[in-house]
Structure 1
Amino acid sequence: MSHDAADQQLVRDHLDHLHQPQALSGSQQAEFKQRIKDLLVRENAVIVAHYYTDPIIQELAEETGGCVSDSLEMARFGRDNPASTLVVAGVKFMGETAKILSPEKRVLMPTLEATCSLDIGCPADEFSAFCDQHPDRTVVVYANTSAAVKARADWVVTSSIALKVVEHLDAQGEKILWAPDKHLGSYVQRETGADVLMWDGACIVHEEFKAKGLEDLKQVYPDAAILVHPESPEPVVKMADYVGSTSQIIHAAETLPNKQFIVATDQGIFYKLQQQIPDKEFIVAPTAGSGATCRSCANCPWMAMNGLDNLANVLETGASEVFVDQLLGEQAMKPLTRMLNFSAGK
């Protein structure tokens, strides 16, 4: 089943209308940071930020007792933190997930326009019809999907637990319907040998990494280990010394003996890599070179929409609040809870 042309047009339409945060001077950044710190206290709020957001957002989250992590830990942190307001710095599906898991909390985002090509490319009505055509399959969806798509699923997974969940289901003899990322789905299928039927979707950032570029860069840095996110195309994944989620890539960089690493994921992760492992060198993996749009070259354009200015604004005004229909939220809560329980070994 292919949705390539329609999906690409939808993504282009979204990219053409993005509003990026304003550029700030050093003094303006300091002023915004202090203002946000005061507002977080006033609103009993905490920042839950993804590794792919701007380093200044990650730094602020850490300084104020918030969270900087992958989507799995973001979900868990938001659910368990006592703050009554969660400010989710990431993309919309992360805000929706926070609201589903904590319906009693107020969930704000710097902008509700920040979305994801995987989410855009998997409309709930089309996906539901696809599921209806294959009622014998267990529906496993990636976290990068809307609340409505999650509500249709049996399981939600993140890249950090996708392999283990599918291994578990395959051992029980279950056939899988997977959505939306075809590259991650193919990786899981190859690694587990499970019977996986895939939706046709891809991340505009990870899809632009190229094996030829990696080969050329490896000639320059022959001793560097290649760290790859499994949303990347198969030829890139096959070149990797390690394949894993953002948090797993950070752990691999800490534990592998190499002093240099070529990293094929969003370059927002470099803040945490350099912070935690300052004695090692990290090199951005090449993307599509002259053929790329560079609206997405190693940096998610929607993650880049999270800025100090719009973060301060939502705390001051209560704008950009995330709402999820109650019934939809209750339905989506089931596979999300299953995900969290599985990852916790329950």
Structure 2
Amino acid sequence: MLTSMITQIKQLLKQKNAVLVAHYYVSGDLQTLAEETGGIVSDSLEMARFGRNCVADTIIVAGVKFMGETAKILSPEKTVLVLDDKATCSLDEDCPIAEFSAFCDQHADRTVVVYANTSAEVKARADWVVTSGSALSVVKHLHQQGEKILWAPDKHLGNYVNNETGADMLLWQGSCVVHERFKADALIALQKQHPKAATLVHPESPQAVVELATVVGSTTALINAVKNREEQTFIVATDNGIFHKMHEVAPHKKLIEAPTMGTGADCESCAHCEWMAMNTLEKLLETLNNPQNEIKIDKNIAQQAQYSIQKLLDFTEK
């Protein structure tokens, strides 16, 4: 059944001149399929950039809605589909455009820098869009120019950038439901059980967890750490969907999920985004057979958001 479904999907992708781009946090089946069919597995901005540069007429995004929007912003002439239009992101949800725009107006002297995990409308309101991998370098650059920053939406990533750069930053109070769950006290106990392990932490995690890290970085940086570092055991504090790629690049290394147990947690380690989990092979096949969940963005909003994203692309290509 599974083999038959995958065969059908591959045929339909080819027939419809469509490309599948998948995030590191979706299921391993979707990640493998994306790479086998000429697509990509990456972070949200690279997914969008790949979609823009490929020859496909249709970009199918295995991820969450804001990732589909980013792909559409960079490829306005292409059809962009998501597998489930209800698959959202707590960071996106935590930053509604009306409230955020009013907040920006209250602090008009600040340069608005927003994380990629935001709606097209929020990106359009921003001066800069950044990723977890580029946030430090962009904010450091702006700080050196004497600019004061209004940062949104992730307070933990913002706090990490603030601590590292010393920039004058006003933080919007959003957070990721997955990274928010990691517990420092339980992580300390786990580190004692595995004293030779390196601890890899995504900067969307709380500061107390970040302070325990061997490596703090984006999804790509954490994957590269598993691949390139000498340690044979890694404690990983990010969405466990990343383990698929980590196992692929370092099959003989041991990966341990960082603990989310503690007050308010409902399992010992449950670091997986429920919205990412909504992406399935069945929904991909349905999307190909009956195109739906198309991403559409107001032209003016898309143009303004593209400007903010392009500033980052130009900056990182220097």
TM-score normalised according to structure 2 size? 0.98
The reply to whether residue 157 of structure 1 matches residue 157 of structure 2 is no
CA RMSD of aligned residues (A): 1.3
Secondary structure at the residue paired with 2:221?
helix
Match of 1:276 among 246, 249, 252: 249
Match of 1:298 among 267, 271, 286: 271
Output aligned runs, 1:119-134, within 5 Å.
Answer: 119-134=92-107
Give the distance between the partners of 1:56 and 1:89, measured in 2 at CA.
11
The equivalent residue for 2:26 is 53
Aligned length: 318
The reply to whether residue 172 of structure 1 matches residue 145 of structure 2 is yes
1:162-205 CA distance string (max 9 Å, x none): 00000010010000000000000000000000000000000000
Output aligned runs, 1:84-95, within 5 Å.
Answer: 84-95=57-68
1:79-127 CA distance string (max 9 Å, x none): 1111110000000000000001000000011111100000001000000
Q: Is the 8 A contact 2:45 2:70 kept in 1?
A: no
The reply to whether residue 227 of structure 1 matches residue 235 of structure 2 is no
The equivalent residue for 1:17 is none
Give the distance between the partners of 1:218 and 1:136, measured in 2 at CA.
44
The reply to whether residue 83 of structure 1 matches residue 62 of structure 2 is no
Amino acid at match of 1:281: K
Q: Is the 8 A contact 1:228 1:237 kept in 2?
A: yes
Deviation for aligned residue 1:297:
2.3
Deviation for aligned residue 1:219:
1.4
Give the distance between the partners of 1:290 and 1:187, measured in 2 at CA.
24
Q: Is the 8 A contact 1:76 1:340 kept in 2?
A: no
Give the distance between the partners of 1:286 and 1:84, measured in 2 at CA.
42
Runs (4+) off by over 3 Å: none
Amino acid at match of 1:338: K
Match of 1:37 among 2, 5, 10: 10
The equivalent residue for 2:258 is 285
Q: Is the 8 A contact 1:114 1:302 kept in 2?
A: yes
Secondary structure at the residue paired with 2:173?
coil
Secondary structure at the residue paired with 2:241?
helix
1:299-322 CA distance string (max 9 Å, x none): 000000000111111111111111
Give the distance between the partners of 1:291 and 1:133, measured in 2 at CA.
35
Q: Is the 8 A contact 1:163 1:191 kept in 2?
A: yes
Identity between Structure 1 and Structure 2 (%): 60
Deviation for aligned residue 1:138:
0.2
The reply to whether residue 62 of structure 1 matches residue 35 of structure 2 is yes
Give the distance between the partners of 1:157 and 1:218, measured in 2 at CA.
31
Give the distance between the partners of 1:199 and 1:289, measured in 2 at CA.
26
Match of 1:183 among 156, 159, 169: 156
The reply to whether residue 115 of structure 1 matches residue 88 of structure 2 is yes
Match of 2:297 among 324, 328, 334: 324
TM-score normalised according to structure 1 size? 0.90
1:4-24 CA distance string (max 9 Å, x none): xxxxxxxxxxxxxxxxxxxxx
Give the distance between the partners of 1:71 and 1:288, measured in 2 at CA.
28
Unaligned runs of 5+ in 1: 1-27
Match of 2:72 among 99, 120, 123: 99
Q: Is the 8 A contact 2:109 2:148 kept in 1?
A: yes
Deviation for aligned residue 1:290:
6.2
Give the distance between the partners of 1:74 and 1:289, measured in 2 at CA.
35
Deviation for aligned residue 1:30:
1.5
Give the distance between the partners of 1:293 and 1:168, measured in 2 at CA.
41
Give the distance between the partners of 1:324 and 1:340, measured in 2 at CA.
21
Amino acid at match of 2:293: S
Give the distance between the partners of 2:233 and 2:306, measured in 1 at CA.
41
The equivalent residue for 1:236 is 209
Deviation for aligned residue 1:49:
0.3
Secondary structure at the residue paired with 1:262?
strand
Deviation for aligned residue 1:342:
1.6
Secondary structure at the residue paired with 1:47?
strand
